Amino acid sequence: MLSRTRFACFARTTQHCRSRPAASRLFVTSSAASIREERRIFDSPKNAMASTRALHSSSKVSSALKPVVYDQFLLFGASIFEQSSSQQRGFALAPALQEAYIRRLDVVNRGFSGFNTTQGLKVLPNILPDPSQTCVRFMAILFGSNDACFVSCLNGQHVPLEQYKKNLVSLVNHPALQAHGTRVILVTPPPVEERRLEHRVKSQGYKELNRRNEVTKQYADASREVAEDLDVGCLDLWTAFMQTADWKAGDPLYGSIDLPENEAIRALIHDGLHFTPKAYGIFYEEMMKTIAGKWPDQIPEKLPYVIPAWDDTEAWAKEGLQMGSSPDVVRHN
């Protein structure tokens, strides 16, 4: 009979089991002999691994309780995604997506500060799991803010506009990604707040701005065009941010250093480039809208739990685990 505590231990990795000071503390057992046996098993990593395999192969353990691998929702891009896991300032995108898809998909953050599309294309095969292990159901791709750096910048981040478009196409059509049948969402690069950005880059040793909104907008337009051409999801973050300032096509580009300060844009970009909690809130809302519009069957409410709810009698019965009748099922109240 598996106690709740013992089941929790077997769900951990061998390394975690090995790090415990006394294996006997992990279990609720019925005899001193069983305590000695469990201590002997878990004092040896090799024995612990063999014991775990034996448990998983036991006919007493239903397939519903064996380790499962969730499909992934992968966030791939530069610092805007990398920082989307941090809640130091407040609301953040990645935790919000994790909460929305909890028990349904694993949200995986693969944001790499400073990366452009050329670097992203090089590392893409390295961040994707083998399709035999799990499926990348969604991938949101956000590059462009670094590609749009001026060609004169010495940081080497600039990627010419036409090459940027080709790189986006190559990312979406990469064989390693296509093998997953992934639902791709291309995110347009957002505007920058040039006054704050100027202060930031000068503090880093630059003499002048290394990005301008008029250039970044060209990359946002290009990202949108690629999404339309390839018929993948498009999250137009550029427009979503600008519309908070009541911007319309043809208006001056708010956030420009040549215009009066725009408080709506400043409220979204804390250092000229990176997001405030309010900005990540808009990002999250637009992400959910994009999914609902393009793949309505993939919104969280339409996806089943990977492991059934504790009171889903029908699902448990399919596994031969009538709730309350099997000693191997832990019922949580």
The secondary structure element, H or E, covering residue 183 is strand 183-187
Task: Round to whole Å and give the CA distance between 302 and 318.
Answer: 20
For the segment 213-240, the average pLDDT, to the nearest whole number, is 98
For 190-201, write each residue's pLDDT tens digit.
999 999 998 888
In the chain, what percentage of residues exceed pLDDT 90?
64
5 band by pLDDT with thresholds 50, 70 and 90 = very low
For the segment 201-227, the average pLDDT, to the nearest whole number, is 90
Model pTM?
A: 0.77
Closest among 254, 248, 220, 247 to 234, alpha carbons compared:
220
Q: Hey, what are 294's tokens?
A: 């393009």
Q: Is the pLDDT of residue 59 over 50?
A: no
Q: Is 19:39 a contact under the CB 8 Å cutoff? A: no
Domains and CATH numbers, the chain: 4-63 (no CATH), 72-302 (3.40.50.1110)
Coil/strand/helix, residue 20: coil
Task: Round to whole Å and give the CA distance between 15 and 231.
Answer: 44
46 band by pLDDT with thresholds 50, 70 and 90 = low
Task: Round to whole Å and give the CA distance between 164 and 134.
Answer: 29
233-235 vs 106-111, strand pairing mode: unpaired
Q: What distances in angstroms separate CA 5 from CA 8, 10, 248, one per listed residue? A: 5, 9, 59
Task: Round to whole Å and give the CA distance between 88 and 80.
Answer: 14
For 278-310, write each residue's pLDDT tens digit.
999 999 999 999 999 999 999 999 999 998 899
6 band by pLDDT with thresholds 50, 70 and 90 = very low
pLDDT of residue 180: 98
Cα 327 to its chain centre, rounded Å, is 37
pLDDT of residue 68: 83
Continuous H helices in 75-212: 79-82, 93-100, 117-127, 161-172, 175-178, 194-203
Q: Is the pLDDT of residue 230 over 70?
A: yes
124 band by pLDDT with thresholds 50, 70 and 90 = very high
Sheet with strand 72-77: strands edge to edge? 106-111, 72-77, 136-142, 183-187, 233-235
For 63-116, write each residue's pLDDT tens digit.
545 678 899 999 999 999 999 999 999 999 999 999 999 999 999 999 999 999
Task: Round to whole Å and give the CA distance between 34 and 136.
Answer: 42
For 142-178, write each residue's pLDDT tens digit.
999 999 999 888 778 999 999 999 999 999 999 999 9
What are the DSSP calls for 60-107, one per residue? TS-GGGS-----EEEEEESHHHHGGG--SSS--HHHHHHHHTTTT-EE
